[in-house]
Amino acid sequence: MSTTADDAPDANNDETQASVDYAEILKRIPHRYPFLLIDRGENWVRNKSMVGIKNVTFNEPFFNGHFPENPVMPGVLLIEAMGQTGAVLMSKSLDADVEGKTIFFMSVDGVKFRSPVRPGDVVRMPVEVVRHRGDIFKFRGEAYVNDKIVCEAEFAAMVVESPK
């Protein structure tokens, strides 16, 4: 679903849903190729949830060494992709001025890997806010390929001032 001026998210409405395109992701988090691991966001709901989308291609740089004859996306990168989804959700929810600030992981708990992610897969990552206080958020995330869960984790993140 794309957002137009008529249905743009209202900062005061917690139930508003919107898409987050690649350009907005680039404005909200500092990650860049080859470490930007989400292509877009769907179903953003302020302070509640967002679904991150990662299109996994054969030319991802990690496939050269993990594993060339049996390419599998590293599990830690699935966690990072969920974390980036959470960071975009946080940044939009807080309407954070991203200038001079970065969102960092604080913790990762209860990680489970269920199935490998391979070239050609589209990973859908629903991430929901478990709780939040000020600039600290705790999330629950899952990653799916073709409606099959491939990874799950709980994680926390916070907004910090970037060094000058």
Q: What amino acid positions are annotated as catalytic residues?
A: 66
Q: In angstroms, rounded to a whole number, what is the distance separating the alpha carbons of residues 65 and 61?
A: 8
Answer yes or no: are the C-beta atoms of 20 and 88 closer than 8 Å: yes
Alpha-carbon distances, residue 83 vs 99, 108, 146 (angstroms): 19, 9, 21
The dihedral sign for the CA sequence 162, 19, 138, 73: negative
